[in-house]
Amino acid sequence: MKKSTHWINFSIDKHTKISIPLEDPIEYLGPAYQENILLFYNKHKIVLSDSTIYHDMMELAKSLKKALNQELILHSSIIKDIGYLYNEYHYDDANFTKHTFSNGFIGWVGCLNHLWESLSHFNSWIYNAPDGSIIFEVTLLYPYMYCEPEEEPDYISYEEWIKTYKPYFITTISKETALQWLEQAERIIKIVEDNQKRWDSMPKEDVES
């Protein structure tokens, strides 16, 4: 396995950051380049997303633009922690307010504030507090939601698990930090799109070599 020697960092404070490890320089990124997005917090490391970097940066830029314009106020039905309600929605969605998204998907209205998710059950959110400040939150989805209990040695029922639920990480992002993140995300998006245009214009044999 190659060692990552290049890093994309989105700083939160002196001890907390979002990082993307790269095996290649950022200038070589393409739309299919895939690496985990990591959160380093409290001497721990978790995976926030395992999608393509291009997709994740597009989602980040879109959310930050809306948050900076105070367009990500939580829906009035969200009166408890968004991660808590996301678990409740997955467990039983009968009484949740639904929204039809631009891709035709009909789901919980809270997903308008959803940023990333990972196979390790972490979900990231960006939303505006009532005073307009920008909140970045990381929550955990019940890990046995779609598992057979007898196949999981550490299984715990949802009813027991949700009793001790709390957000994994939550912080207020300053406007300056949000603008820095947005600038960096848009720079990465431009690199990817410029590279794709350049590769598309090259003879096939040059791309393959």
In a domain, residue 24? The reply is no
Q: Which of 155, 169, 165 is nearest to 123 (CA)?
A: 169
Q: Per the domain annotation, does 188 fall within a domain?
A: yes
Residue 4 belongs to some domain of the structure: no
Is 7 among the domain residues?
no
| Residue 61 within any structural domain of the chain | yes
Give the count of domains, the chain: 1
Residue 205, in any domain of the structure: no
Contact 55, 20 (CB under 8 A): no
Q: According to the model, what pLDDT value does residue 201 have?
A: 87
Q: pTM of the full predicted structure? A: 0.92
- pLDDT of 147: 87
pLDDT at position 137 is 98
pLDDT < 50 positions in the chain: 1
Each as own residue / partner, the long-range contacts of residues 197-200 (CB below 8 Å, 24 or more positions apart, any chain) are 199/30
